[in-house]
Amino acid sequence: MTDARYAHGGYLDANPTWHTEDSAFKTGELVALLRRRDLRPARVLDVGCGAGEVLRQLRPHLDADAELVGYDVSPQAIERARSLGGDGITFHRGDATTEAPHDFDLVLAFDVFEHVEDYFGFLRRVRALGTHKVFHIPLELTASAALRGAPLMRARQKVGHIHHFSRDTALATLEDCGYQILDATYTAGAFATARHLRTRLANVPRRGLFRFAPDLTVRLLGGFSLLVLAA
């Protein structure tokens, strides 16, 4: 992630909340995954932690002596994370894939590698950082997005997504980088964080179709991400 927008404040200008409003939803999905797989990590690393809200909300769900560490290349993100308080969490500015230790029980990369120019190299380095890895991956490569065009360009310009994935290409990418997929579930961000009327209206057909054909709904209409546990 060498794009100057992360180092010099451009990303913060376009996204002043650093997406903290979405963190409760994402953390809830993460906690459900950890419970389902009976995982209680003692050392957690968040790669590309942003303002650190996922780690802060994860903290109460782990043992009291668990160690949580966040890294981000953006000085603005780390300044925000530290100013909001870490509750025993430490935040570092830098590239976790080259600067963090390699002994974590759980490594998080939430909505990260779609920003990274060399995402294959990034994923191979992340794999060495710990035992289990959890990725949250926006599934933006949909029929609706391809037909309309604007959603993909909006994601590129506003939030810096320079790669776009479907469920199949996301999982294939992780496998190509040496990961073993242990769990993969959809998360419905469009349902949980619908702040605009257009999204709420689009959720009506999404909800109905998803009950009967989740894969088809994701490929056609979008609004979903993929939560992946890998080793």
Question: pLDDT digits over 34-63, tens only?
Answer: 999 999 999 999 999 999 999 999 999 999
Residues 228, 181: contact at Cβ < 8 Å? Answer: yes
User: DSSP state, 18?
Assistant: T
pLDDT of residue 197: 53
Alpha-carbon distance of 189 to 222, in angstroms, equals 10
- Partners of 92 in the beta sheet? 71
pTM of the predicted structure, to 2 decimals: 0.91
Burial 147-182 (b: 16+ CB within 10 A, else e): eeeebbeebeeeebbebbbbbeebbebbeebebeee
pLDDT of residue 196: 60
pLDDT of residue 176: 98
3-state secondary structure of 216: helix
Share of the chain above pLDDT 70, in %: 92
User: Residue for token digits 């999404």?
Assistant: 206
pLDDT of residue 1: 47
Average pLDDT, the chain: 89
pLDDT of residue 163: 95
| Residue 68 binned pLDDT confidence (cut-offs 50, 70, 90) | very high
Q: How confident is the model over 78-137, as pLDDT tens digits? A: 999 998 777 789 999 999 999 999 999 999 999 999 999 999 999 999 999 999 999 999
Count of CB atoms within 10 A of residue 94's CB? 12
Structure tokens belonging to residue 35: 């419970």
Assign domain 4-140+160-189+223-230 one CATH number from 3.10.20.30, 3.40.50.150, 3.90.230.10, 3.50.50.60.
3.40.50.150
Alpha-carbon distance of 130 to 102, in angstroms, equals 6
